[in-house]
Structures are given as structure tokens and as C-alpha cells.
């Protein structure tokens, strides 16, 4: 794989990850004003969780027509975020970032109240384009392209982990209008958070307590139990197993877990990256066959934070969907949204059986 770093018209970095030797020399001809990010984070005094405020994102691109897609390669008279006429995998800084290194300000408090600390939303947000084909999908990629994407994720995890103030790196993909996607071109994002996320903090706390009591990693024991039972297993390879979690929250919910405890994507071997590509494609293709339509989903990597809990983290990918039938959505009702108490309309065993049946 060849990695090439260039700059867009407003100074943002764009990176090309090419599977063949390719020269990237095209320039961004657009007249763009500088990025003006104004993010801040505030600590909720009742939960102890950080909440990001990014009002500048109200003006971000929203459902453009296909011929004006900003993620397609540039054409004569129609420049896009990617100046080249074609590409394999591309990563660039988001023009409407939730977190940015360019945010100015100092730590303070809201209205001078020490109960509510406030800080600049310093971090980094990137866009990952998986293919130049506007009508493509991750599930339609060849395994070799998925491997390129994994290598790009690893590269960016390493780079963002070294960005000043970044505490956790989260690569993820949102797919489908039902999820809230406003750009239909196959793409994902990578967030470099200026704090450890609430979900990760909770998982690390559980992992720490379990290790102290049992002397073993909790996800390692879960993985061993799922592989032994097989009831909820969807796909399996030499280095990865995909299964419906035994307490699944969503109508479609899958975890793809590494057989070896590693903290993050950069720690994976070449063989593990290749095997992930094969297993994950089997999962995605089963998901798309489930309702005989492209499944809307969120898929994200659980990686250990940059500076804490790295001995407790166990790399895995989690995929879930709000689609509970071909034409029915699961809406988060009072119990889920108000109290974070989940109620699933299907058992994990039923979900797994359906996915295996179409896979």
C-alpha cells in the first residue's frame, strides 16, 4: 500500500491509501474559506460525562444530489473534497468537525459555576472514503479493499493517538438515512476525542473488576463461552469470531471480536487484518440479506484509550441497526432514551438464527 499526504485548498490534510503505485499530484482548485470550528465540551454535573457543543456544524452539507456529492472524485467543472479523478481509499480532515485542533480558548466554567467545567473541544475528526464508487457499499468491497481500509484505520489510529489532547480514537461507519446519514457515498469517520468516552469508561471499569475477581479478561471469557456454545455465532475465522451479544440491545446486533487480546487496530498482525476482512464481509452480507435490502447500521471499533486502560481493553467491532423488520424501525422510547434500560423485541438467539439463515 502507498500512502500519500496532500493538502486541500483550505489547508486541511488529505491522505490517499493506494493499493498500487500511484502518483497523487492533483490540486484542489476550490476557493474555500478557512475552517472555523468553535467546539467546546461541558461536564454534566449529574452524570460526570462530557457533552460536546459544535454549533458550527449546523451549516454542514446535507443530502446533496449525486452529481454534486463531495465524496466522489473531482470532475471537470465539479470539484469535490477529493481533487483526484479516482482513488482507492481516502482520508481527509472533516470541514465541519465536532472536535478540532484549531479550536481556541482555555478551560473554565459555565457562568463561573465550578459545578460545570468547560473546555475547548480540541481533537480531530476525519472522513474515510472506502471507494470512489458513489453507488457502492462496504459489503460490496473485495477483501483486498477491506484490508486497505483496515490499514488506513491503523495508520490514523496511530497518528491521532499522537495528536495533542486526544484521549481516545474511534473509527466508525454510519450507513443509511434511517441512521441519519446525510451523504450516501460509502464512507465512515474517525473521531479523536479529547476525553475517554462514557461507554469505554464503563466497559473498562467492568473489565477491571472482573479481572480482579476472576484473574481473566471478561471479554476473553465471553468469547470462549460464545465459541463453545455456538448458538449466537454468525461467522468465524482463524482470528475473529462474530456473534450476537448474549444481552443484545438492538434488533440486529453483532460483535466481531479478536481471538487475541490487543488494545487497538495498529496492534493487529497482517494475518489478523486479512482474516477480519473475510469475517466482516460475511457479517455485512448476511445483514444486507436479512430483509433483502441494504441494512442501515452503525459499526464502530472499541479500542483502548490512548493513555489509560490499555491492559484492560480488548479490540472488537460492534455493529447494530435500528431496523426491526423490512419496513419497521425501532425507536428509542421512554425506557431506552430516558433511563438507558433497553427492551429488545427479539432474543439474541432469534437474531443469530435469522442472520445464519441468510448468511
Q: What is the mean pLDDT of the chain?
A: 96
In this prediction, residue 120 carries a pLDDT of: 95
Which of 65-69, 76-80, 152-156, 292-296 is the least confident region? 65-69
Which of 195, 227, 257 represents a domain boundary (last residue)? Answer: 195
- Whether 241 has a pLDDT exceeding 90, the answer reads yes
Which cell is 245 given? 451479544
CB 149 within 8 A of CB 128: yes
In this prediction, residue 126 carries a pLDDT of: 98
Per-residue pLDDT band at 60 (split at 50, 70, 90) = confident
Active-site positions read: 187
In a shared domain, residues 204 and 169: no
Reference 62, options 183, 187, 188; nearest CA is: 183
Neighbouring C-alpha atoms within 13 Å toward the C-beta of 160: 34
- Give percent of the chain above pLDDT 90: 92
Which cell is 238 given? 482463524
In a shared domain, residues 38 and 103: yes
In this prediction, residue 27 carries a pLDDT of: 96
In a shared domain, residues 250 and 177: no
What are 105-127's pLDDT values in tens digits? 999 999 999 999 999 999 999 99
In a shared domain, residues 176 and 269: no
In a shared domain, residues 37 and 58: yes
Work out how many domains the chain is built from and give that number.
2
In a shared domain, residues 248 and 276: yes
Which cell is 18 given? 493506494
In total, the chain counts a number of residues equal to 359
In a shared domain, residues 315 and 225: yes
Q: Is the alpha carbon torsion for 147, 149, 152, 154 positive or negative?
A: negative
CB 264 within 8 A of CB 303: yes
In this prediction, residue 109 carries a pLDDT of: 96
The stretch 80-107 carries a mean pLDDT of 95
Which of 195, 227, 250 represents a domain boundary (last residue)? Answer: 195
Rounded Cα gap, residues 257 and 293, in angstroms: 26
In a shared domain, residues 136 and 78: yes
CB 71 within 8 A of CB 185: yes
Block residue for cell numbers 451549516: 59
Per-residue pLDDT band at 65 (split at 50, 70, 90) = confident
In a shared domain, residues 140 and 226: no
In a shared domain, residues 203 and 349: yes
- For 197-303, strand residue ranges (E) read 233-236, 240-243, 252-258, 297-302
In this prediction, residue 121 carries a pLDDT of: 95
Per-residue pLDDT band at 257 (split at 50, 70, 90) = very high
In a shared domain, residues 229 and 181: no
Q: What is the CATH number of the domain that holds 88?
A: 3.30.428.10
- Whether 131 has a pLDDT exceeding 80, the answer reads yes
Rounded Cα gap, residues 60 and 54, in angstroms: 11
In a shared domain, residues 223 and 186: no
pTM score > 0.95 for this model? yes
What are 182-195's pLDDT values in tens digits? 899 999 999 999 99
In this prediction, residue 25 carries a pLDDT of: 95
Find the domain containing 239 and state its range: 199-358
Which of 169, 195, 221 represents a domain boundary (last residue)? Answer: 195
Amino acid at each position: 500500500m502507498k500512502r500519500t499526504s496532500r493538502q486541500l485548498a483550505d489547508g486541511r490534510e488529505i491522505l490517499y491509501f493506494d493499493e498500487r503505485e500511484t502518483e497523487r499530484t492533483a490540486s484542489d482548485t476550490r476557493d474555500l474559506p478557512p475552517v472555523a470550528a468553535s467546539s467546546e465540551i461541558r461536564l454534566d454535573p449529574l452524570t460526570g460525562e462530557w457533552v460536546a457543543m459544535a454549533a458550527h456544524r449546523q451549516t454542514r452539507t446535507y443530502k446533496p444530489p449525486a452529481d454534486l456529492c463531495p465524496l466522489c472524485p473531482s470532475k471537470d467543472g465539479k470539484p469535490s473534497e477529493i481533487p483526484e479523478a479516482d482513488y482507492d481509499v481516502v482520508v481527509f480532515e472533516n470541514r465541519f468537525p465536532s472536535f478540532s485542533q484549531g479550536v481556541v480558548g482555555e478551560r473554565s466554567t459555565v457562568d463561573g459555576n465550578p459545578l460545570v467545567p468547560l473546555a475547548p473541544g480540541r481533537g480531530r475528526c476525519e472522513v474515510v472514503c472506502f471507494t470512489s464508487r458513489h453507488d457502492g457499499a462496504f459489503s460490496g468491497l473485495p477483501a483486498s479493499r477491506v484490508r486497505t481500509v483496515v490499514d488506513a484505520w491503523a495508520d490514523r489510529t496511530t497518528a491521532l493517538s499522537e495528536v495533542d489532547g486526544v484521549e481516545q480514537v474511534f473509527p466508525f461507519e454510519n450507513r443509511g438515512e434511517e441512521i441519519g446519514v446525510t451523504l450516501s457515498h460509502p464512507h465512515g469517520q474517525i473521531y479523536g476525542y479529547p476525553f475517554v468516552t462514557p461507554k469505554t469508561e464503563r466497559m473498562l471499569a467492568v473489565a477491571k473488576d472482573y479481572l480482579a475477581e476472576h484473574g481473566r479478561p471478561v471479554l476473553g471469557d465471553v468469547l470462549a463461552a460464545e465459541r463453545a456454545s455456538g448458538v449466537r455465532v454468525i461467522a468465524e475465522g482463524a482470528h475473529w469470531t462474530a456473534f450476537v451479544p448474549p444481552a443484545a440491545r438492538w434488533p440486529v446486533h453483532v460483535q466481531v471480536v479478536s481471538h487475541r487480546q490487543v488494545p487497538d487496530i495498529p496492534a493487529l498482525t497482517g494475518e489478523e487484518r486479512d482474516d477480519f476482512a473475510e469475517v466482516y464481509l460475511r457479517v455485512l452480507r448476511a445483514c444486507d440479506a436479512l430483509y433483502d435490502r441494504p441494512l442501515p447500521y452503525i459499526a464502530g471499533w472499541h479500542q483502548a484509550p490512548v493513555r489509560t486502560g490499555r491492559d484492560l481493553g480488548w479490540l472488537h467491532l460492534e455493529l447494530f441497526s435500528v431496523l426491526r423488520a423490512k419496513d419497521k424501525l425501532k425507536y428509542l422510547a421512554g425506557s431506552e432514551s430516558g433511563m438507558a434500560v433497553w427492551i429488545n423485541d427479539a432474543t439474541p438467539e432469534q437474531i443469530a438464527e435469522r442472520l445464519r439463515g441468510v448468511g
